[in-house]
Chain A
Amino acid sequence: MSRISDWYIMGAIALAGLAGPLLLPGLATQIAFLWLMVVFALTWDMLGGRMGYNSFGNIVFFGIGCYAAAVVQRDAGLPYFEALALGLLAGAVCAVLAAVVFGAAMLGIRGHYFAIGTLGLGIAAGEVAAGWDYVGAGSGMALPLYPGELGQRELFFCYSLFALAAICFLCCRAVYATRFGLALNAIRDDHDKADAMGLRTTPIKIFAWALSAFFLALSGGLAANMIGFIDPRDVAFAGATFGVWMVLMAILGGKGTLWGPVLGAFVFHVTQELFWTWLLGWQRVALGLLIVIIVVFFPQGIMGWLAERRARAEAGT
């Protein structure tokens, strides 16, 4: 995508993001979830697409963000917005620390061992949260009520998540254009060669995971407040829904591309909102089927498919 059209698209999305919730206040929550999905897909793609480390456990950082915000808001004794800000900060710090610790331990593991290992990490975190009384154990935690007027709440979270998604996107865009972005791709394409070329791969990998954990934790704190309640297995460490969607959206859009995850999140979320309710309890069966179909028949994603078509057209002329 050329430089100019890139800016047009970003401008159009920014306009839609700012005006959308005002024009369609009834859809504010759905739009807020759309931005959440964009953050999910972008942060997954940092490792999965760019660096070739397919993590099934990124949901851990989202859950840490949820719980850190909830605990701070419960115990800090501050007014709502101060507590929320402090909670988000605490969540981001905890998640980055967790990413550094887990990363130092696990990012040396490669291939399918890493994939299955992170899957275990995500589920273990959910099970620990579900058994830990300090954070409400299996019954989860309720978050404080939003103090503003009726209808304000949805708009507030819609705009905050939009801002987060926009910052996350711009951050990815800036980072991928640097040497650091190239180093990530080098690790994906050939890890041993990247090592041999003198790249300090371990710190690079840890930094990438910490960056994705940072955004995920912020989105977790906001999402927990938007939903108003966190359940250990179904909201915070929801490996079977959010955790899988991350991967699916990034692949659907085209992993390893800048716009792919955004596109995948849009397509997936809109499809889900439009058709999911018709499936009446068979949604998760459909999700499983969708994963198999997309992965087996369409692994290059929408952006990959477009690039292939363009390459074929250019070769033809």
Chain B
Amino acid sequence: MLDNLSLFVQYPPLAFDVVLNGLLIGAIFALAAYGMALVWGVLNIVNVVQGELVVLGGYVTFVAVQWGMPPLLGLPLSAAAMFCVGWLIYRAVIFRVVDRDIFISILATFGLSILIQQLANALFGSDVRTVDADLGSVHLFDGMVTLAGIKLLAFALALGAGGALWFFLRKARLGQAIRATAQDPRAARILGIDTDRVFAMTYALNAALCGAAGSLAVMAWTIHPYLGLPYTVRSFMVVVVAGVGNVAGVIAAGLGLGALENVAGFVFGVEFQIAFVFALMVIILVWRNAMATRKRSHLE
């Protein structure tokens, strides 16, 4: 562990490589986290099935490429397919839990996540899958730093999607309806907004964002059926740190998480990377609670 740390000091470009690659992967986390923030803010549901939607999006691209489609076309295809899946999930389950106890919605989406995870396992097998996007790589510092083209694309895309989402929520009619519903569903209904449709669109939009994230994940990294929960937890963490209605914060937190995770994976070893993600979430929650308690005691 310390050996790995001292490597950073001896070869600064290596540290640069690890951090930069982590930042770029973090863009994928940010993409999935936009969706979670949206669903959390509008439907008041913590969507535990988030990560499975990401993984499923990855499988759509994987299958499309197997059928001979160019990998980059898989990206819009994944988003579109997952939009439909999200709509179906909303119509089947989510609309029944929107107004109910938070525990019911967490457990219901948790059940959905087991369901989709196991279905993916049965349909696609438990092998680790990846797709080569054929975009080449960029080398810096005499090859000490290697950046895959697809990661750069993912980064650009996540930023673009963040901007588009911000614009959509502020300017588009549906976006304004979504924001109104988030503020007060009852008042929105009185003003003639079909909140059920807004909820459905929000959930489907979230699934589409997850689909895009998954498509990028399968090209830039790997997927397998059991990777869903880590994505859920990453999105959750990012939203907890950034806040629900804060697109710029989500980007920053997502990138930061990616960099931190990559460094931790390098220092502690890859076998502890997942443990690190989950432990980090616990630490963030405990920290957040401790800060809130301190603030309260100041007020007294």
A residues neighboring B (CB under 8 Å): 54, 56, 105-106, 108-109, 111-113, 115-117, 119-121, 123-124, 127-128, 130-131, 138, 240, 244, 247, 251, 281-282, 284-285, 287-292, 295-296, 299
Contacts and interface: CB of A to CB of B under 8 A. Distances in A.
22 contacts: A56-B110, A106-B285, A108-B290, A109-B288, A115-B46, A117-B281, A117-B282, A117-B285, A123-B229, A124-B278, A127-B272, A127-B274, A128-B279, A131-B272, A240-B114, A244-B110, A251-B107, A285-B119, A288-B111, A288-B117, A295-B104, A296-B96
Contact of A111 (B100, B102, B240, B271): B102
Given A116-B236, A127-B274, A296-B108, A54 B113 contact: no
Contact of B93 (A108, A120, A287, A292): A292
Interface in B6-48: 46, 48
Of the listed residues B110, B271, B288, the one surrounded by the most CB atoms of chain A closer than 10 A to its CB is: B110
B269 interface: yes
A110 B66 CA distance: 46
A256 to B, nearest CB: 12
A93 B171 CA distance: 59
Contacts of A127: 272, 274-275, 278
B282 A121 contact: yes
Interface residues of B, number: 44
A120 B118 contact: no
Contacts of A124: 275, 278-279, 282
A287 B121 CA distance: 14
A299 B102 contact: no
Nearest to A287: B114
B111 A113 contact: no
A189 B117 CA distance: 34
4 nearest A-B residue pairs (beta carbon): A291-B111, A288-B115, A127-B275, A288-B114
Given A115-B103, A295-B108, A123 B274 contact: yes
Given A54-B106, A116-B233, A120-B233, A284 B286 contact: no
Looking at chain B's contact residues, is the secondary structure mostly helix, strand, loop, or mixed?
helix
B124 to A, nearest CB: 13
B97 interface: yes
A116 B238 CA distance: 13
Contact of A299 (B48, B93, B104, B118): B104
Interface in B251-300: 269, 271-272, 274-275, 278-279, 281-282, 285-286, 288-290, 293
Nearest to A255: B103
A109 B121 CA distance: 34
A291 B106 CA distance: 11
B271 A130 contact: yes
B111 A295 contact: yes
Contacts of A287: 114, 118
A247 B274 CA distance: 24
Nearest to A291: B111
Of the listed residues B117, B282, B286, the one surrounded by the most CB atoms of chain A closer than 10 A to its CB is: B282
Given A109-B285, A120-B233, 17 more contacts: A109-B289, A116-B48, A117-B281, A120-B279, A120-B281, A121-B278, A127-B272, A127-B274, A128-B275, A131-B275, A285-B118, A288-B114, A291-B111, A292-B112, A296-B93, A296-B97, A299-B101
B242 to A, nearest CB: 15
A108 B97 CA distance: 26
Interface in B62-116: 93, 96-97, 100-104, 106-108, 110-116
B181 to A, nearest CB: 20
Contacts of A111: 102
Nearest to A289: B115
A61 to B, nearest CB: 15
B235 to A, nearest CB: 11
A292 B115 contact: yes
Contacts of A251: 107
Contacts of B104: 295-296, 299
Interface string B161-186: 00000000000000000000000000
A150 B131 CA distance: 53
Interface in B130-182: none
B122 interface: yes
Nearest to A251: B107
B119 A291 contact: no
A292 B271 contact: no
Nearest to B113: A288
Nearest to A127: B275
Contacts of A284: 114, 118, 121
A112 B100 CA distance: 13
Contact of A289 (B97, B111, B281): B111
Contacts of B117: 288
A106 B284 CA distance: 11
B108 A292 contact: yes
B283 to A, nearest CB: 9
A106 B114 contact: no
A109 B286 contact: yes
A295 B97 CA distance: 9
Of the listed residues A105, A115, A120, the one surrounded by the most CB atoms of chain B closer than 10 A to its CB is: A120
Contact of B272 (A106, A109, A128): A128
A112 B46 contact: yes
A251 B112 CA distance: 17
A251 B282 CA distance: 25
A293 B97 CA distance: 12
Given A108-B293, A116-B236, A127-B274, A291 B281 contact: no
Of the listed residues B104, B111, B272, the one surrounded by the most CB atoms of chain A closer than 10 A to its CB is: B111
